[in-house]
Amino acid sequence: MVALPSDGVPSSKKPCKWVKYPSTWIVYRPRVPCRRPVLVTARIEHVALWTDDLERSRSFYEELLGGRASPLYRNDTTGFESYLLSFDGGPRLELMRMAGIAPRAGEGAQALGFVHVAFSLGSEAAVDAKTGELRAAGHEIAGEPRWTGDGYYESVVLDPDGNRVELTV
């Protein structure tokens, strides 16, 4: 819970009026006997993927999907390394490597947990073109471009580590 500092105004001179909102946190202020709603919105800041070849994965997301990588972060004590990739208008993607991380059950295999990361390309033609470009670059297409039952035009490609990457309008 977040606490706001007292603004010095006695509560009798500043009555507390509020409406209950969905997705609202109630914030308690020290020495002020009222509750004030504070609207809190959440957005995805970044998603992280483990890889055993950091440079290969960075290259895939930079060269083929337009990401811009941060400088390499390295923790010499733990052996952890990562890049944060930025994309226009959305959350970042963190690519991480560290010794001792177990491989997935099988490349492209579906399993519990996060399933895919989706990139919006803006049009059906862009999805078709990018799918063709990824195929020509030797990446496995796990789902050909198509309209889905829930109204998305999409294709699915596997990144170099077998993670599912959805390309959508």
pLDDT in tens, 76-112: 999 999 999 999 988 999 999 999 988 777 666 666 6
The beta strand positions in the chain, using DSSP E, are: 24-28, 35-39, 46-50, 68-69, 73-75, 80-86, 92-97, 116-120, 141-147, 153-158, 164-168
pLDDT tier for residue 10 given thresholds of 50, 70 and 90: very low
Q: What percent of the chain clears pLDDT 90, i.e. is strictly above it? A: 62
- Please tell me if the domain spanning 44-101 has the same topology as the one spanning 115-169: yes
Domain edges within the chain: 1-42, 44-101, 115-169
Q: Which residues of 21-39 are buried (b: 16+ CB within 10 A; e: fewer)?
A: eeeeeeeebeebeeeeeee
CATH architecture of 44-101: Roll (3.10)
Domain 115-169 CATH superfamily: 2,3-Dihydroxybiphenyl 1,2-Dioxygenase, domain 1 (3.10.180.10)
pLDDT tier for residue 131 given thresholds of 50, 70 and 90: very high
User: pTM for the whole thing?
Assistant: 0.72
Of 138, 168, 137, the C-alpha closest to 153 is: 168
Judge whether 157 and 107 are in contact, CB under 8 Å: no
